[in-house]
């Protein structure tokens, strides 16, 4: 479990460029949950996830991950983070060696590293035949999956995904989402999904934390969020198209999927 309590963060404190990024942020992430963090550019999302991952030093408040302080180096084995466009970090000669890089650095045996590479490739839907291929010969979607596999090979208990489908075409995006929230989720990994895409949040998140100007303005389920027009407007977010359609038709109900919207329309016909 991740417990975030009263976390605040200010960039360039005491200078003319001082900027408050986070203000008294508190929430928790339950084991096995998919928690979405949503908000417009500049809301504090990136700062928050980097603090949780131990990449930015905590200034005030506390974060505990399975009872360990976020400052404890042991959390680096618990938390994996995938930034936007992770394929830009690919650098090895083959897909296999790229995925194996981090586990090797943790001192694992060759047999264990090999097993982890195979498992991570299966989890993201990469065929075994791609092992010896250069990552730069892969399609955009395949490169994204290879980069995520490199994080999964560390077997993190918590996986932070920062806009994981950014820049992908619709088929590649759908394929990746199915892999992430299929095989990866089944493996028991707890996921923090950073996204401004309300359709993805509607489909996959159990709860949503909404940030605006460094503050939490909402915590609840996607369905509860989409009923809060003022909260969405303040955060610069839009509900999924299906919810917008129901509002246009003056139906005071929210839908998370097309199937739900169809049932509501049929009932109200």
Rg of the chain in Å (alpha carbons): 20
> Looking at residue 261, what is its pLDDT?
61
CATH class of 1-78+197-238: alpha beta
DSSP letter for 137, please. Answer: G
Q: Which pLDDT band holds residue 172 (cuts at 50, 70, 90)?
A: confident
Query: Could you report the per-residue pLDDT of 193-248, keeping only the tens digit for each?
Result: 998 888 889 889 999 999 999 999 999 999 899 888 899 999 999 887 767 776 66
State percent of the chain over pLDDT 70: 90
In this predicted structure, the answer to whether residue 263 has a pLDDT above a threshold of 80 is no
Distance separating alpha carbons of residues 115 and 123, to the nearest angstrom: 12
> And the tokens for 120?
């991570």
* pLDDT value of residue 2: 96
What is the Cα 10 distance to its own chain's centre? 23
Q: Confirm if 146 and 98 have CB atoms less than 8 A apart.
A: yes
| Cα–Cα nearest to 49, from 61, 60, 63, 32 | 63
Per-residue pLDDT at 194 = 94
Q: What is the dihedral of CA 229, 234, 239, 243, to 10 degrees?
A: 10
More confident residue, 186 or 146: 146
User: Which is more confidently placed, 257 or 89?
Assistant: 89
Quick one: average pLDDT of 7-24?
94
Q: Is residue 250 very low, low, confident or very high in pLDDT (cuts 50, 70, 90)? A: low
pLDDT in tens, 114-163: 999 999 999 888 999 999 999 889 888 888 889 889 999 999 999 999 98
- pLDDT at position 161 is 92
10-29 in b/e form (b: 16+ CB < 10 A) is beeeeeeeeeebbbebebeb
Query: pLDDT tier at 19 (50, 70, 90 boundaries)?
Result: very high
Regarding pTM above 0.95, the answer is no
* Other CB atoms within 10 A of residue 221 CB: 14
Half-sphere exposure in the Cβ direction for 241 (13 Å, CA): 3
User: pLDDT value at position 257?
Assistant: 62
What pLDDT shows up at residue 247? Answer: 66
Confidence of residue 180 (pLDDT cuts 50, 70, 90): confident
Give the residue ranges of DSSP H helices in 185-251.
185-186, 198-204, 222-226, 229-235, 241-248
Backbone angles phi, psi at 12, to 5 degrees: 50, 50
Per-residue model confidence (pLDDT) at position 249 = 65
Q: What is the mean pLDDT of residues 40-52?
A: 93
Residues in contact with 164: Cβ distance below 8 Å, sequence separation at least 6, in sequence order: 82, 144, 148, 176, 177, 180, 193, 195
Contact 62, 26 (CB under 8 A): no
Q: Where in the chain is the domain with CATH 3.40.50.300?
A: 1-78+197-238
Residue range 49-94, pLDDT digits in tens: 999 999 999 999 999 999 999 999 888 889 999 888 777 777 888 9
Confidence of residue 38 (pLDDT cuts 50, 70, 90): very high
């Amino acid at each position: 479990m991740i417990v975030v309590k009263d976390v605040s963060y200010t960039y360039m404190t005491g200078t003319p460029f001082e900027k408050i990024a986070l203000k008294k942020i508190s929430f928790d992430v339950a084991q096995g949950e998919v928690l979405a963090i949503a908000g417009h550019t500049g809301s504090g999302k990136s700062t928050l996830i980097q603090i949780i991952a131990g990449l930015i030093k905590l200034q005030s408040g506390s974060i505990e991950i399975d009872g360990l302080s976020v400052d404890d180096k042991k959390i680096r084995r618990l938390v994996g983070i995938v930034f936007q466009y992770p394929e830009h970090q690919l650098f090895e000669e083959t897909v296999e060696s790229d995925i194996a890089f981090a586990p090797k650095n943790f001192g694992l045996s060759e047999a264990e590293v090999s097993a982890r590479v195979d498992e991570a490739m299966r989890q993201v839907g990469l065929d075994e035949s791609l092992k010896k291929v250069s990552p730069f010969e892969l399609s955009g979607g395949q490169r994204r999956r290879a980069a995520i596999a490199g994080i999964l090979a560390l077997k993190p208990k918590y996986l932070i995904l920062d806009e994981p489908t950014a820049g992908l075409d619709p088929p590649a995006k759908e394929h990746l989402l199915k892999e992430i929230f299929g095989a990866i989720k089944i493996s028991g990994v707890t996921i923090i999904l950073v996204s401004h895409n309300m359709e993805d949040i509607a489909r996959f998140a159990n709860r949503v934390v909404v940030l605006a100007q460094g503050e939490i303005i909402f915590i609840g389920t996607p369905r509860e969020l989409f009923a809060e027009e003022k909260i969405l407007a303040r955060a610069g977010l839009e509900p999924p198209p299906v919810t917008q359609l129901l509002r246009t038709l003056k139906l005071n109900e929210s839908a998370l999927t097309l199937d739900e919207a169809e049932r509501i329309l049929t009932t109200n016909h």
